[in-house]
Amino acid sequence: MNDLSLNFLLCKPDFFSIDYCINPWMLNQKIDLKNAMEQWNRLSETIRHLGGEIKTVKQVKGCPDMVFTANSGIAFQNKFLPAAMKYTERQVETIHFKRWFEKNGYDIVELIPGFSFEGRGDVLIHGNTLVGGYGYRTDLQSLEIAAGVFNLDLIHLELINPRFYHLDTCFCKVGENKFIYFPNAFKKGEIKKLKKLNIELIPVSEEDARLFICNSMLVGDVLLVPELRCDTVRSLRDNHGIKVCHVNVSEFLKSGGSIQCLCLRI
């Protein structure tokens, strides 16, 4: 199965702000909205330049984190499995995303009530396998349901570091069969579960992980990265032959998100 579609759903940061604190990155932060808008526009332009197609959902006032569209659910095989956000502050977002996907012809498949699930923030699809993270924002039962909805095998990985509360903050596809990951984000022994996928796993340092390098994103064969000046990017470029392109999204890092968080692959 191909999970590297060049179609992305983004949300322009018209009302982006930090009005509450639901992760350690958000503490005592303030957004420069003008700068955030310029960075978002640059990200959009870069994706289009690389051959990607962008669709947008309009941000609703009072939903400041709606810009992180990756958390809205999973769009795959013309089905949309909406998120069930853990925190009350974000739960209203789901209504607006469901409306967008219904309007655009997707079949909506609902989770069983009572479980938390934060979409692509905690899910990556590789071949016939759904790799899911759980422990902070997504429940294990939700991953089991998601794998069933899309008829995929499941590998679930428990997250234990509060700064890396979503899978896409500590695990990232960087090539056809290559992945980077931050070892200390996972419960001991969890990463060994990935051996059955026969993929190359490249560890990153905590310093690079805190730059959100694991929230990079492939567009075609080019990896969009939030920071060029780090050991991980140099290694990917020089030792693994991966093409990289820098996109500055520093305003969004203040809220605990980066490139991949801002884009839902559809």
Catalytic residues: 166, 261
The encoded tokens of residue 139 equal 């429940």
Cβ atoms 232, 204 nearer than 8 A: yes
Sign of CA dihedral 56, 12, 51, 147: negative
The encoded tokens of residue 259 equal 């490139």
* Alpha-carbon span 179 to 41, nearest angstrom: 27
* Alpha-carbon span 93 to 31, nearest angstrom: 20
Q: What SS3 class is residue 9? A: strand
Cβ atoms 58, 52 nearer than 8 A: no
* DSSP character at residue 69: G
Strands (E), 96-196: 107-108, 123-126, 129-134, 153-158, 171-175, 178-181
Rounded to 5°, the CA angle 156-162-165 comes to 45
Residue 126 makes CB contacts below 8 A (sequence gap 6+) with: 3, 173, 197, 199
Would you call 78 exposed, middle or buried from its count of C-beta atoms within 10 A (0-12, 13-18, 19+)?
A: exposed
Residue with tokens 């969004």: 252
* Alpha-carbon span 85 to 98, nearest angstrom: 13
